[in-house]
Structure formats: C-alpha cells, structure tokens
Homo-oligomer: A and B are copies of this chain.
Amino acid sequence: MTIQQQRAEETRSRILQAAEECFAQDGYDKTSVAAICQCAGVSKGAFYHHFTTKHEIFMALLNRWLGGLDEQLISSQSIQATIPETLREMAGLVGGVFQAAENRFPLFLEFWSQSVRDPEVWDITVAPMQHYRDFFTGMIERGIEEGSIEPGDPQTTARVVVSLVMGLLVQGMLDPQGADWEQVAREGIRVLLEGMQQKKQ
C-alpha cells in the first residue's frame, strides 16, 4: 500500500467517523454534508471523492455497524454448556453491549425509521432480525433435543426471545437511566427459561 493510499483511507475513515457522530446527534436529514466535512476536518471535495452520495455513506455506516454486532454475538456461544446456561450467559452480555454501543443507539433508531421508506435499508436492517431468529431457533431445537426445554414450536419460541431482546434494546435506547437493563435482561431470560424448561413431575 502506497503512502497516498494510506492517506486516502485515513481520510475516508475520518469521514465515516464524523458522519456517525453527526447522524447520531442530529439524524440523517438534519445532518448536512457540510457539517460532516467540518467535523471530519476535510473539504466537500474530499467527501465526494470518497462517497458518491450522502445516502451511500449512510449505508456504509449501517453495514459496518451491523457486521460488528453480528460478529460479537455469534462468537459468544460456548459449546460445552447446556442451552439454558448459554442463554443465561448471553443475557449477562447485554450490559456490555449497552455500554459499548450507547452513543450509536440513536443511529439505530434512525436506521429503523429509514427502513420503513427505503427498501435497501430495510433489507439489511431486518435481515439480522431473521438471522437472530434462526440462531435462536437452532438453540431452542437443541434444547428440546437435550431435554432441557419443553417441546413446542421452536420458531415461535425463538421469536419470543428475539422480541424480548428487541424490547430491551428499545427501552434501553429511549430510557437508558430508567433501569438496570442488564438485570432486567437476566430476569427476563430467567423467567422465560423457567417457563420453557421441563417441569420435573
């Protein structure tokens, strides 16, 4: 990689960083390209050299953000543990996720809001949801196999889990100080598992 390419990529990432901050702070529409440029310390020419459109940089951010999120969650499952144990462990991670992504949450809402209008945004916003759905469906199925979860429709049960997590996310986004959301997550998963587990009769 040449010196010039290095420099270019540095500028590119500076612009991305600045755009993320601006979008999170003021929303997509109210963030002007000029504001992004000023925040990044570059000119408009630099911006339009690296991105063809304001919309494009928005999509770039969305992809980067979702990619990272996905990686983090999938890698957090241990193999030797029981399904309920794994789920409980994942609930414990919620607090970390909240803290790590706290300032990106407004951007998240922005994505959702845009996805109603823009099919392109919809695709990559809703896809992860279905992805997690499948992920949890697999877990539930294995739980039923190993006998730790009561037989039932894994699809529906998985949707219930995802719904709970989504709800936690939204509440955490809108009212971060409203509760200890990590604790609520743990309690929620606990109760859900209690309701899903085989009763010893």
Which residues of chain A have a CB within 8 Å of any CB of chain B?
25-30, 105-106, 109-110, 112-117, 122, 125-126, 129-130, 153, 155-157, 159-160, 162-171, 173-175, 178-179, 183-184, 187-188, 190-196, 199
The answer to whether A163 touches B164, judged by C-beta atoms less than 8 angstroms apart, is yes
Check if B167 sits within 8 Å of A129, measured CB to CB.
no
* A197 → chain B closest CB, angstroms: 8
Chain B contacts of A183 at CB under 8 A? 156
Please give, as numbers and ranges, the residues of chain B lying within 8 Å of A184 by CB-CB distance.
Answer: 156, 159-160, 163
Contacting residues, chain B, for A116 (C-beta < 8 A): 27, 105-106, 109, 173-174
| Chain B residues, CB < 8 A from A109 | 109, 112-113, 116
Query: What residues of chain B lie closer than 8 Å to A195, measured between beta carbons?
Result: 190-196
24 contacts between A and B (CB under 8 A): A27-B29, A27-B113, A27-B116, A27-B117, A28-B29, A29-B30, A106-B116, A109-B113, A112-B174, A116-B173, A116-B174, A129-B178, A130-B178, A153-B187, A156-B184, A157-B191, A160-B184, A162-B167, A163-B164, A163-B184, A164-B188, A166-B166, A191-B195, A195-B196
Q: B25, B110, B156, B167: which contacts A165 (Cβ < 8 A)?
A: B167
Which residues does chain B contribute within 8 Å of A162, judged by CB atoms? 167, 171
Is there contact, CB below 8 Å, between B113 and A113?
Answer: yes
Shortest CB–CB separation between residue A159 and chain B, in angstroms?
Answer: 5
| A99 CA to B139 CA, complexed, in Å | 31
Q: How far is the CA of A125 from the CA of B171 in the complex (A)?
A: 11
CA distance A162 to B188 in the complex (A): 11
